[in-house]
Structures are given as C-alpha cells and as structure tokens.
Structure 1
Amino acid sequence: MALPSTIHPLNFNWTFKRGDCTSRSDYLPANPAPTEVHLDLLKIKLIENPFQDLNELSVRWIADEAWTYRTIFPNPPDHGKPGVATEMIFEGLDTFASVYLNGDLILESENMFVAHRVDVFKQLVQQNSADQNILEIVFFSARQKGLELVRQHPEHRFIVHQTETSRGPVRKAQYHWGWDWGPILMSCGPWKPVSLETYTMRIEDVWIEYELSDDLRTASGSVFARIEGKAGKAKLSLEIETQECRKIFYFGLENLNDPFEAQFGGLPIDLWWPRGYGPQHLCTVTATLTSQDMQTVISQCTKTIGFRKAELIQDTDAHGTSFYFRINNADIFAGGSCWIPADSFVTRLTPSDYRDWIKLAAEGNQIMIRVWGGGIYESEAFYEACNEFGILVWQDFMFACANYPAYPSYVSSIETEALQNVRRLRHHPSIVIWAGNNEDYQIVERYGLEYRFSEDKDPESWLKTNFPARYIYEYLLPKVTKKETKGVPYHPSSPFGNGTSTTLKVDPTVGDIHQWNLWHGDMKPYQKLPEMGGRFVSEFGMEAYPHVETLEKCITREQDRYPGSMAMDFRNKAIGHERRLVSYVVENFRIQYDLPGYTYLTQVMQADAMAWAYKSWRKQWGIQGKRQCGGVLVWQLNDCWPTMSWAVVDYHLVPKPAYYAIKRAMEPVAISVSRKFNDWTMRPADELWKRDTSHIDMRKVWSDVEFSVWVSSSRLKRITAAVVVKFYSIKSGRETYQSITRDVEIQPNGTTDIIFDTKINPVPKYQDPNCPYDISKADPFAIHASLWVNGKEVAADVSWPDPIKYLSFPDRGVEVKYSDDKTSLTVSAAKPVKAFVMSEKQGIKVSDNGFDIMPGENKTVAVEGIGADKLEWRYIDM
C-alpha cells in the first residue's frame, strides 16, 4: 500500500562554528533554519550590528572564513518501510557547501540558486537504533573560491563592475559583494529550508499551459503533472477550479516516466488584470495522488494561477521600434520601479514583509516592478503579493554588470538554475517578461568585446569569443523560457535594443534604456528628463536622504549626524555622491547644511526629478498606435539596509516624498502642467561666447514662459471633464493672468493635449534699460492646473519657475487644522507653498506628502499611527 508523502522540516536544533568539520572551535547556538552566519553571530553578540555606524568594516573577516552548521535529528517514522524512499531536500545553500550526513559526504553544492534532493536511505542510522542523525554543512568562503576560479580560468577575461572580480564565476547573490547602494556583507548558511521527505510516490510539480479565446472568455490547453516514485496501485487526479467551474481528470499510474497531461477546451474563465484595469481573479490547479479507493491522499500539489494574455509589442513605427506591454488586449503604460533584495540578510524577511512592500507599491499607483539581476529569484511571498495586488513583474535572471564566463561546468549549473527557477515561478500571472541580465551588454560595448549580432548566428561559436555569456543570454535562457513557460516574452538583457543597439549610447528609438545621464554620466539637470526618454525607461534615478529618524537609527553618535561626516559618507556607497548630490541640491535650492535641512532638500530635489520624469514620459505614452514610451521604472523602490540612495522608500518602509510624486503622476487620471525649461546653468550671456563660457543669463530666468497642459488616463473609456489653469504670483498670492477653463473629452488609455507650447504674452517688463538692473521687480508665478469631473477636482499639478533658489517665500500664511479625532490634517496657505513635507517615521502612514499648496486650496491628508497634531512639517524657505 502506498503511504502518504510526508515532509519533516529540519528547522531547529541548529548550531554553528567557525571553520570546517575538523575545526576545534566550539559549536554555538544558531537561529532556526533558514539562517545565515551574520545573523547567528549577531544574536549571540559576537559581532556588532553591521547596519550601524562603521560596523560593516568590523565584520568583513567573516567572508574569508569557512563556517560549519550542524543539526541532530531522529529518523522519520516511515523510514525503512518497504517501498519508501527517504530524501533530504536542500532548497538553497549559500553557496559553496559540502554536506555530511553521519560522516558521509552526500552533496557538494556551488550555486546558491539551485535546490537539491539527495537519497539518504543508506546514510541514516539504523531504524531501530537509539542514535540520532548528525547533519553537518561546511560553507566555504565564496570570495576565496571565486578568486580561485578566476585563477583556474585564465582563458576568460573577467570584467566585473561595482565589486572585485571574485564574484564573476560565483553563483551567489551578486549584491553580497557590495554595490553602489549596499554594504559588503558576504554571508553564508542554509538560506532556504532543509527537510526530509518520505514517500512511495510524490507529485514533483503541477503546471498549466493555455491559450485564451479571441474574446478572452474561455481558455484551452493542458494541465500537466510530473510524478516521482514507483508505479503502483494509486490514482492521479488533475483539477482546475475557476470562479466559473471545476474540471477533474483521472489517471492510472502504470507509467511514471513521462508527465501526465489532461487537455481541456472552452473552459470559462475570469481574467487576471493588472492593477487598475480590472480584478485580479485567481484560481487553482491541483494534482492529487490517492489510494485506489480514493480514501487516502498520498501526495498533493496546488498552484494558484491567473488566466491572462501577455504580449510585448515591438512594432516598427514613426519613432523606431515600440516597446510596451499589452495585457488581455489592453495596452499598459508600465509605470513602477526596480526592486533589489529588501535586506542584506534575506532570511529575516517574512511573507508579511513582502506583502507590505508590494502593497505600498500598489498604493503608490505603481503597476510594474522589476526584479533586478544582481539579487535573488525572490520568495514565493513576493510573487503572491504581486498576484494579489495586480503588479506586473519584470524578472531578470541573476546576472549583473559583468562579463560572465561560460566554461562547461558553469553553463551546466546555469541551465539547472534557470530550469528550476522558471519552473518554480511560471504559474504566477504577474510575471510578464524574463530578461537575461542587467547591463552586461554595456560591458560588451565599453570594453569592445566580440559581438557580431547580425553576422554570427552560431551559438557554439559564441563560446569561443571573449564574450561567451552571449551563449547564455541568447541561446540557453531563451531556450529554457520558451520550453518551460508559455506566453511570457524573453528579452536578452536590460537594457537591450536590437543587437546593434545594446545600449551604452542610450538609443531612444528601440528597446529599453537605462537613463544614467541623470546623476551619472553627463549629470544633466533633471528638468531635461522629458527629452531623455526612450521606448521604455527601465532604469533612471536620483539620490536622496531618508527621513532623519532612519538616519538616527543607524548612525548612533550625535557627533556623526551631519552631512559629510565620516559615518554619513561611508554609508552612501555611490561613487562621487558628495559632489553629485550637493551639486543637484545647490543648483536648485538655497543650501541648508544642517542634517534636517539638507535631508529635506535632497528629498524635495529627488521628488521634483521624479515628477519631471513620470509625468513627461507618461505623456509620451500617446494614444493607441502611437506609443512613444511604454513605461518607466525608477531605480529603485527599496533599500537593503538603512542608507541614503536612489530608493524612493527607505529600508524601514518609510516613503520619501519622491514616492508620492510618482503616486500623483501615476494616478489613473492625472493632469500635468510643465513650462519650457530654460537651462540657466549652461546658457551663455552672449552667443558669440558660446563655446567657452557658461554665464547665467538673468534675462532668461523668469521670462519666455511657454507652457503645456495635458491629461494622462489609464481608463479604458472616454471621460468628460473640465480643465482649469490659474497663474499665481509667488510674491503676493494673487492671480497674475486670467485663468483658463476648458471643457474636454479625455482620450481613453492615452494622452490628451489640452494646451500645447503656449506662451503667456506679453511677458512683464520688469527692467528699465536706463536704470540699474533690478531683478526684485520681477513677479514670477506658479502655474496651477486642475482637472474636474462632475464638479469635483480629481487631479492637480503645479509648475514652478526654475530654479527654486532664486525665489523667495516669506509670509506664506500657512494654516494647519486637525480633525477632532486627530486622524487627518488640512493645510491651506495665502500664498503659493512649495513642497510641504511631513516627517514620516516607521509605523506612521500619511495619504500624501511633499505636495504644493496654492491660495484658496485646502489639502486634507489622512494620518495613521500617530496623532496628526504630533507630526512635524516644513516647506521650502520656511
């Protein structure tokens, strides 16, 4: 008789020590598995918190040591019974590991992203013995192993950006070597569960392949199950359960060699939609093994799926080649963000942590998240949350910023890694694209590696070049994804154009781009972002500090809490951050160099950059058939430790004002106003001196006002609305020009131009040529655009004269009132207010932040986690 398959987790009784099995070091208590060595050392206070002060430096030695983990456990109850297999499951070992069971070597692993199953029937103690089993796992230094592999493969040109070359041949989360936003914390340990399974037969996997009917109301395809064990007297059922119906298919188990397949057709279904386009209907596919009489469940596997149609549209058009997503026949502007691992020590992340992160992204009107290739294939909880909240996932394979090798054992490991992870994740409807790597083709261009896209189409020949990883990105990975996951496109890299544009030079006509001429590269003003877009902007960003409370948690000494202190500079890993960040701040704002003041200015500057990018690139979404820009993903949503970085939400899930700027720009229906940018930083005073001067032309700073107003809508139906545009004197708060009111029809799922490149004439003459030059007579104004539907304001936006630092904001007449229960506050002002920011903290939530206030406007903000009257706030020039 077939016995039920039983999993026995080996979570507890773990100890660890420094060195390998032969080391005389004492075993010390470890956390329950999964765990990793830094957290275990921290728990027993053998190291200081590496997230605080300069402590990262004091724990670097850990990466160069071997560490042994040990647990003791009894035999599982069914072990030794006739026909019962006993296997040990290692879902993830980080990274170079030798595994011993009762003294026998049973496994050697060298890939963090690969799971292992090992038959341990012979290694377990005798069934009737009173002895316990001893499992020991020796983790060797990934850094030292990496350096050794580099020496062993002189035929390959190892090029590694961000970190030392040792990470190039090692299949470990690449950010562990440090990045320009994260620390060098190379941990090790059983980072995923370890368990024993006993079974006679077990379901290895269940999955579904389907196509939707033209009207998207029914699905046809197959359900598959793969079974392991010995054929016997049992039954297999494959079940699809949707909101509409339930279908069950039965099989005998005479042959277990091939996957079982049940075909179906005309299955009525409800669609899974991205957030804002429809509900996220989910259903289940279940494989069940039972006894012949169906009274005993032997093994069962259930996957939650969603039916949807996903396409990447790459058509030739007036701008080159399009790049946007079409889900369920609806074009989707994919505004969102890039994701890095949410902790340097991912074993302490919980399913609720992942859900909180994805919920926060969804509440910020983000619709896509890109899992970056230098981290990990994320936890099931991450993708389940994306399924729940309707967040599309762009999934990179785990390669980033390097010229990776492709010797046989490495390629073999990569193929196993790809197979396992694609199979593990393929049921998630949220995953709509797989990409081969992050920025590896930029390495090709920068170093002139061999790459003849059009001329050389032989994958075997690619292995003989100094860019052998082309074999991985353009042959191996697309082969795996095509075979294992149907209906999900593959993209060779992010960024990648068409093979001839791959895209160090940032080709705006084809593929996706990483736009780093903001912050990096040319360090262009963020006001130029509208002209720096492409067909899909999959990375760009601007740094900012987190809120002061977050900095105070990680920088513990009061004397270190100032911009530019050793502790502050050490924490910011971005190259040249001192010059770059202060340059952007001082270029735009009156500098304040105390910690609260400077923190605030960096945040407002980052938020302004996000507003310029998202509203302008969303404008380029255009209309159906004319999609110039298909999406924008900020680098980055999150941090892996408390720091100042490009993240728009800090390590403790506390949003920066930039998060809210994105939220406003990505509202389902958003109005935007923008004036033509006069680059005061570069404009010469006289065209004759153009080549060798960069004088500021004060005559151009507040004149030649040319502005545009447009509405962006992701709604799939037309909307009748009214647009109101007003012009407020920043000095007096009075309206300086006659307001504009227009009744409009808002285009569905596109951009509607309301006012296009219109000048305000005449420009006020504030300078008498016969008098001394007096800029104080100027009367600069803010432009406020609002959108009204059925008499209610549904969206608003403000355009300010640049730079803000030339403006003065005295006597704003700001008034803040609180609701009786202190769950909300309402802000008003007599004169225009720029960037009203409340100091958020962990556990506090506000509905909006970093907003502008115009005269006559009442801005109400909901507050959770603290009385609204307890919040601190400030605005520009307060």
Structure 2
Amino acid sequence: MAFYHQRLSTGWAFRDRDDENTEAWMPVPAVPSTVQQDLIANNKLENPYIGFNELKARWVNEKSWIYRHAFQQPEIPTGAKVALVFDGLDTFASVTLDGQTILKSDNMFLGYRVDITEALQKSPEGGQHVLEIEFDCAQSRAREIRGKYPDHKWVGFNGDMARLAVRKAQYHWGWDWGPVIMTAGIWREVRLEVYSARVADLWPKTTSIDFDGELASVTAIAKIDASSSASDDLTASFHLTLRGQEIARQENVPVNTANQTAEVKFEITDPELWWPHGYGSQPLYEVSVSLSRDGKYLHTTSKKFGIRSAEIIQRPDKHGKSFFFRINGVDVFCGGSCWIPADNLLPSIDAERYRKWIELMVAGGQAMIRVWGGGIYEDDSFYEACDELGVLVWQDFMFGCGNYPAWPEMLESIRQEAVYNVQRLRHHPSIVTYVGNNEDYQVQEQAKLTYDYEDKNPDNWLKSDFPARYIYEKVLPEVVTEYSPATFYHPGSPWGDGKTTSDPTVGDMHQWNVWHGTQEKYQIFATLGGRFNSEFGMEAFPHLSTVDYFVENEADKFPQSHVLDFHNKADGHERRLATYLVENLRTATDLEVCHPSSYLQVQAETMMFGYRGWRKQWGDSRHCGGALLWQLNDCWPTISWSIVDYFLRPKPAYYTVKRALRQLTIGVQREHHDWSATHAQPPTKSGYELWVASSHQHEVLNATVELRFQSVVSGRDLRAPVVYENITIASNGTTDVLTNGVIDHIAEPEAHVLSARLWVDGQVVARDVDWPQPFKYLDFSDRGLEVRPETMTSAAGERQQILRISARKPVKCLVFEERDGVRVSDSAMDIVPGDEQVVTVTGLAEGDAPLKYRYLGQ
C-alpha cells in the first residue's frame, strides 16, 4: 500500500490531572501546543508576558496534566503496519491507547515512533480509539531525581540545579534573560502513519569535492522501514535535481535486505557550491527517493542539501593557536550572534517568524548564528531558512551552565537524543560545527571540580566529581563521528585544548569582563578578545512600543519602576547598567530620555568597539576568527542583551554591528584614555589608527581614504583633511592606512571627532567616526540637524521614502523610530558636517506619519 499519514492536530481536550471533577476537560485549539497556551485559550490564565503575570502563572509549573484525543480507526490493509509518531513530548509523558500504556517518555528532545498495529486489532465499539497522554510535573520530578543522588555535585549558573537531572529545555527553569515558565504538552507534531514500507531516513552525504577538477561526489543513503511481509523485493529510485532540473537519476536500486538500506553515488561535474551569504550563492540540490515493490509505488521522500566543505582551522601561530572557519577553501570571518529560543511558548514560533529572524541577520551582514545549549534543537524551518539565506550555524548540544550527572540511564538517553538530532540535522549545509555544551567547563573551573586534561581514561571521568566530561569528550563526539563525520566537533563553548576557558590564545572564549566580571570599560573591548569570541554583550531596553506592551500602567513607565526591574532577570542589572550609563552619559530620570540613552548609546557603542576592533584583528594572522554577540533575540518582551527585541524590532546596536560587518568597512580609533584613572584630566596627546577591512576575495584597487578632524563644538575643521589616494585594499583581511598618527590636544583644545570615509569607484562605501570619550563631557546642543524626506518608486515598483540627512555640527547616534512592517536601511548613525547621508525607508504607505527620530543629547 502507499504510505498514508494523518496529523492528529485537532479534537484534543485537556485537564488538570488531579482535578476530580469529571467536567474539568477543556478544549485544545490545536496541537502542537503547551498547557499555558491552552489555558490562555480557555481564559484560565492571563498572558504571562505582561506585567507581573509570570508570577500568577507559576501555579501551572507545579501541576500535572492529561491530554485526550479520540480517533477513528484508519483502514489497515493486509500486511501494513501502523505507527503513532510523536515529534516532541514535553517532558515526562505516559501515553496510553485504549487504556494500555504504549510509551513512557522523559526526554523533550527525542522523537518517538510506536508500532500500534497489534493494539488496533482490538478495535473498540464504533472503531474509535482513545489516546491519552499524562504529563507529569517536570519541576517535581526533577527535584525527586536530584534527591536520589545526593553525592553528585549539583552546581551551575541560573535556575534550579534540579534542572540538570532532566532532559528538558533548561531555560524553562528561568535564566538571566527569561522567566520561569515550565511548559508541558505536545510541543511538536503527532500523527498516525500507515504503510507497508517507508523511507525512514535519507542522508545525502557529500563524500568529496575536487575544487581543481571541479567534481563532487555525493552518496545518498536511504534507510528503509518495512513490515515483515513487505521487506523483500523492495527497490528504490533516486533522483537528483537542482532548481527543479534533473541532474541525475538511478532507477530500481535493490534494497539491501541485511541492513534495509539502499545507496547510490552521484558524480557531479561543475558542482554549484553553497556559500555563506556575501561569499557566493546558496544553491540547494534536492535528492528524492521513491520506494516500490513489484512495480507498485509505496513511499517518496526528499531532502535538500548543499555541496560545500567546512572546517575549523586550528594551527600554531604568533598569537597562540588559531580558531577560524574555512568554507570551500575560503577563510570566513564569522561575525554574527548567539540564538536563544524565540519564545517561551515554543509552538507559537512558525516558519514565517523563523525566516524573519534569519532575514534580519542577512540584512545586518551577520554570517553565523550560534544555537545556544540551554534551549532546544530548533525546528526544521529554522535550519531551512539558514540554508536558503546563507547563514552558518554553530550548533550546541543541549547542555548549559551546569555539572550534569552521568548515571547509565541518563547517558543512554543523551546518546539517543544526540543520534536522533544529528540524524535529523546532518543534511543542512548551514550547520558547520557541533559543540558539546555552553559554559559547563566554566562551571567546572569555578566549582573547582576535577579535570585532568592529561587523563584520557573515560572510566576515570565517570568516577570524578565532573562526570559530565564523559558526555562531552566521549558520548557526543562518538555520535558525531558515526552519524555526521564531516562535521567538526568542539567539546564545549568556551573550550580550548584543556586550558582555562579564559585563555585568549586558544579555542573560543566568552568575554564577559564587560558587563559581568571586572566590568571593564567598553572602549577597550577589542583588547579583551581571544581567538574566537563566541559570547559577549551589553544590556539594553527594548523599544518603547515593546515596553508599552508589557507595562500596563502609565505610572510604571520610568526607568527604575518595579515592573521594568521584574522584566530584567539579570542579577545586579541595576548596578551594572548604572555603572556604564554614569561612566559615559549624562543621567536622566524620564523614560523618554533615559531609555533611549541606555539602548541608543551604551549597547550600540559597546558592540561597535568590539566588532570594529575584532574585525581589524582578522587581518593580523587571523588573530580573531569571529565574534558572536550575546544575543540576537529574546524569548519574551524584556530588558536583555538582545540587539533585536521580542517583536523583531531592531535596536540601535543592530545597525552598528551591520556597519562593522559590511564587506568593505573603514575604521578610525584613537588610543584609549582612561579618564576615571586620571581623575578626568584630559590627555595632552593621543595616538590613533586608520584602517580598512575587507571580506572581498579580491584586491580593491585605487581606493581613496579621507580623514577629517572636526570640532564637536562648532563643526569646523580644526586641521586640513588628510587624503590617501590610490590605496590597494587587501583581499579578505585588513589594510592599515595609518598606524601611528598623533593628535596634539594642547595645541587644539577643542573636543573633536575623527571622521573617516572610504571611496571606491567615486562612491563613498564606508564611514567611521571616532569620538572623544566619555560623551557626558560633551555639549550636544544646537546640532543643526536636517532630515529631508523625498518619495520615489524603486525599480521593482515599490514605494520608498528617501531621507537626506545633514548637520552643521557632529551628531551622535541618530536613531529612527522602528515600526512593524517598516524597515530603514540604516540607523544609529553619526552625522558630520559636509557629509550628507541617505537612508531608504520601505513599508511606509501614503499618508503615514513620518518616522520619528532621536539623537544623543537631543
């Protein structure tokens, strides 16, 4: 028979397991869902994202729940089998069919397939079967399990350490950017499948690429699941296409009965390679396999994949040991972001929302996203968007900030979880590395757990007080080697050859001495980095419209209100925010003024100093291989380190990062003068550097660089501009234009900016402005800013508004209002006299009010 499937998405009901009222069943709008979503739909729970409602929702975390569904018996032809398939159950689930237990689950990250053929033979009256799923309270179960193992050292960062005992998204226990919302429910699709034979898995594996001979070998391996009566005489037909055009085919390939697989090899001449965006296109080949028996069609499935090579280059050099990505033989500076789940109520994230997030990354020039280890293995649509748009994926395994236990049952569950997800994800060209955990080696260091890197006996690891090493250095690498051997495995983030996780000479590092730790000034961020900076950040408010969403009362709309502090989960955020604000900006108490100051300035400037400097270091023997800011997104409307808030509204830092990651970018920076260490005494002289960074794979010839010295007070040029002509910009690196310039401050006492521009082919392609620090000492009054709108129609027929921007005096961080459905080409801009800039606005309809804007000191 031909494969048949039926989604069980509607017709469900649920109730509190311990509610004895037989009338307590409530309808479920649709699954996938969480119990919180279903309670909200039944008016039993207020939106936990608004005000203090998270606290009102805490009772849900302490309950157990039952979901029920009745379905009609499907037609089951002779020799067919029926499977009940769960793509995700959250988390402790006991499944019964007509009163008989058919599955017990304790791992949110696993999918399950239950053969119910025999169970359906006992058809109840009317042919209707009852499916029930009892979700036990994960919070209670975690604490019970922890209590059974008192000898384990339950240490870590964030949330209840009982979370370490449960294979559930760790951020559900609360994090320093998210609420405590312990979801339960059918969080991914559930369906019935009826078949005599099906393709259980299809793996298109690029086995070799000959760049010189322009040839690629691709092996397609199909794993078959068949009933005993249909397992013989099966054949598979493979088709390879590109953009719908057939490239190759192999028909009637016999299925190997010994291992139930069919395998073919395709030799592709002149293959179109998959590249990260900015380096080339993202062609996706598609391989499909059709399963037949005696000439009768049974099942077809397909997968898209990209042909590319990916490696991490780790070799000794003058800075220690390199750590950078090489794609198709080309070194790639991986500027990008870390990713947390985009919602606490996971089923609410649809494919369109995933794609909008990745589109924002591409528009912002970001090449890599790091899927953080305290969340989930993301939905297929997330990785598909990365494949199609050219964003590289650093994929953590789901372990975060803790000393995880490793008793035998846990190790087996983790191994199954790793196999399931690596098999599910391995065809995606966007995924270029699997990483064992997030910050668990830092927990080991801080808790002084045993870690002898020279001890290579895994049995000893299990006997130590840091048994999680067995997971990261044995279980997970063995799974990756077996199921995705071409993908690089890294034991943890941060990690570097067994050295301390803060060692800047090897591996990747999380640099949190800005904000956390020693709270260094953000102006020196670039000097604090390592070989690959996989976490760093600075907090900022979301947009005022987002604040309006979760702050219900006007009286609470001031920067230090109780509800705003409640929505900032970072420990000590008041002191940390205050430190960076007071050090750099004039303080204010009104939200309209203070809120833009915090997020317009501090976060945007912090990200600029980090990315600008680390991008420059790329050209110095790959000193810095990449920078992934913490974090791109939020899981609820909050104050956090995200550069785009929960409603996909970019913060100003998004734009400063975008400028720093352009294919051609210019940088100018004077040496840091620590005003606090010199009691605010101004410098007499300061050196400065001027450079151009490029990700082009070719030299750029005959470029021109201009450097101006412009008064902050008057806008006048204090010196004649310096112009450098006929510059050759090196490919994929950094070109130093000037390394030892000196400014004499005594001779020219006025505060002034260094403004640099880069011309290529007669066009300004990049700008940078370096300001005297700190901003609180500067007078930003009377800037003479002009924003002149013009309306035009693009070549594609789209209505656009052009904003022509000029100023009589230097303007710092001109930020445009963010509206849903409206996009600006640039924001958080510095404007200097004599340099008109243009911003394109799309999405404004005729008659819409013009975008509002603000700048520092306005």
Summarize the Cα distance change of 1:131–1:259 in structure 2 as closer, same or farther, 3 Å threshold.
closer
Name the TM-score, length of structure 1 as normaliser: 0.94
Deviation at 1:267, TM superposition (A): 4.5
Report the equivalent of 1:727. 709
Report if aligned partners of 1:125, 1:131 keep a CA contact under 8 Å in 2.
Answer: no
Pick aligned residue for 2:761 from 790, 796, 799:
790
Instruction: Write the letter of the residue equivalent to 2:6.
Output: H
Q: Deviations over 1:731-767 (max 9, x none)?
A: 111110111111210000001101113102x43347x
Pick aligned residue for 1:56 from 44, 54, 57:
54
Determine whether 1:662 maps to 2:660. no
- Measure, in 1, the Cα distance between the counterparts of 2:657 and 2:451: 38
Report the equivalent of 1:606. 603
Summarize the Cα distance change of 1:335–1:570 in structure 2 as closer, same or farther, 3 Å threshold.
same
Instruction: Write the letter of the residue equivalent to 2:627.
Output: V
Instruction: Write the letter of the residue equivalent to 1:705.
Output: S
Report the equivalent of 1:543. 539
Report the equivalent of 1:422. 422
- Measure, in 2, the Cα distance between the counterparts of 1:873 and 1:45: 39
Report the equivalent of 1:771. none
Report the equivalent of 1:635. 630
Pick aligned residue for 1:621 from 606, 613, 618:
618
Instruction: Write the letter of the residue equivalent to 2:342.
Output: A
Report if aligned partners of 2:824, 2:842 keep a CA contact under 8 Å in 1.
Answer: yes
SS of the aligned residue for 2:208 comes to: strand
Determine whether 1:576 maps to 2:572. yes
- Measure, in 2, the Cα distance between the counterparts of 1:613 and 1:863: 28
Report if aligned partners of 1:14, 1:29 keep a CA contact under 8 Å in 2.
Answer: yes
Name the TM-score, length of structure 2 as normaliser: 0.96
Instruction: Write the letter of the residue equivalent to 1:699.
Output: P
Deviation at 1:20, TM superposition (A): 5.6
Report the equivalent of 1:845. 823
Report if aligned partners of 2:73, 2:127 keep a CA contact under 8 Å in 1.
Answer: no
Deviation at 1:865, TM superposition (A): 3.2
Report the equivalent of 1:871. 851
Deviation at 1:588, TM superposition (A): 0.5
SS of the aligned residue for 2:263 comes to: strand
SS of the aligned residue for 1:466 comes to: coil
SS of the aligned residue for 2:275 comes to: coil
Residues 512-551 of structure 1: pairs in structure 2 closer than 5 A:
512-551=508-547
Deviation at 1:846, TM superposition (A): 1.1
Instruction: Write the letter of the residue equivalent to 1:507.
Output: D
Deviation at 1:475, TM superposition (A): 0.5
Report if aligned partners of 1:64, 1:144 keep a CA contact under 8 Å in 2.
Answer: yes
Deviation at 1:23, TM superposition (A): 6.7
Deviation at 1:274, TM superposition (A): 0.7
Instruction: Write the letter of the residue equivalent to 1:652.
Output: F
Instruction: Write the letter of the residue equivalent to 1:89.
Output: V
Deviation at 1:25, TM superposition (A): 5.7
SS of the aligned residue for 1:826 comes to: strand
- Measure, in 1, the Cα distance between the counterparts of 2:542 and 2:551: 13
Report if aligned partners of 2:255, 2:262 keep a CA contact under 8 Å in 1.
Answer: no
Report the equivalent of 2:468. 469
Report if aligned partners of 1:474, 1:492 keep a CA contact under 8 Å in 2.
Answer: yes
Summarize the Cα distance change of 1:255–1:666 in structure 2 as closer, same or farther, 3 Å threshold.
same
- Measure, in 2, the Cα distance between the counterparts of 1:559 and 1:216: 70
- Measure, in 1, the Cα distance between the counterparts of 2:283 and 2:140: 48
Report the equivalent of 1:764. 746
Determine whether 1:737 maps to 2:732. no
Which 10-residue stretch deviates more, 588-597 or 388-397?
A: 588-597
Q: Which runs of 5+ in 2 are unaligned?
A: 793-799
Q: Which runs of 5+ in 1 are unaligned?
A: 684-695, 767-777
Determine whether 1:812 maps to 2:783. yes
Determine whether 1:829 maps to 2:807. yes
Which 10-residue stretch deviates more, 223-232 or 64-73?
A: 223-232
- Measure, in 2, the Cα distance between the counterparts of 1:299 and 1:864: 45
Deviation at 1:268, TM superposition (A): 3.9
SS of the aligned residue for 2:120 comes to: coil
Residues 19-58 of structure 1: pairs in structure 2 closer than 5 A:
19=17, 24=22, 26-58=24-56
Instruction: Write the letter of the residue equivalent to 2:466.
Output: F
Deviation at 1:22, TM superposition (A): 6.9
Report the equivalent of 2:553. 557
- Measure, in 2, the Cα distance between the counterparts of 1:285 and 1:39: 38
- Measure, in 2, the Cα distance between the counterparts of 1:312 and 1:25: 59
- Measure, in 2, the Cα distance between the counterparts of 1:318 and 1:471: 33
- Measure, in 2, the Cα distance between the counterparts of 1:70 and 1:249: 44
Pick aligned residue for 1:117 from 104, 113, 138:
113
Report if aligned partners of 1:339, 1:370 keep a CA contact under 8 Å in 2.
Answer: yes
Residues 242-281 of structure 1: pairs in structure 2 closer than 5 A:
242=242, 245-253=247-255, 255=257, 257-265=259-267, 267-281=269-283
- Measure, in 2, the Cα distance between the counterparts of 1:254 and 1:817: 71
Report the equivalent of 2:672. 677
Report the equivalent of 1:861. 839
Report the equivalent of 1:137. 133
- Measure, in 2, the Cα distance between the counterparts of 1:283 and 1:351: 21
- Measure, in 1, the Cα distance between the counterparts of 2:278 and 2:556: 45
Identity of aligned residues (%): 44
Aligned residues: 840
SS of the aligned residue for 1:159 comes to: coil
Q: Deviations over 1:432-452 (max 9, x none)?
A: 000000000001111111111
Q: Deviations over 1:348-381 (max 9, x none)?
A: 1110000000000110000000000000000111
Report the equivalent of 2:797. none
- Measure, in 1, the Cα distance between the counterparts of 2:121 and 2:171: 40
- Measure, in 2, the Cα distance between the counterparts of 1:25 and 1:709: 74
Report if aligned partners of 1:723, 1:788 keep a CA contact under 8 Å in 2.
Answer: yes
SS of the aligned residue for 2:820 comes to: coil
Determine whether 1:495 maps to 2:473. no
Summarize the Cα distance change of 1:22–1:155 in structure 2 as closer, same or farther, 3 Å threshold.
farther
Determine whether 1:590 maps to 2:590. no
Report if aligned partners of 1:17, 1:25 keep a CA contact under 8 Å in 2.
Answer: no
Pick aligned residue for 1:799 from 770, 793, 801:
770
Pick aligned residue for 1:705 from 668, 677, 686:
686
- Measure, in 2, the Cα distance between the counterparts of 1:284 and 1:256: 27
Summarize the Cα distance change of 1:653–1:266 in structure 2 as closer, same or farther, 3 Å threshold.
closer
- Measure, in 1, the Cα distance between the counterparts of 2:717 and 2:210: 56
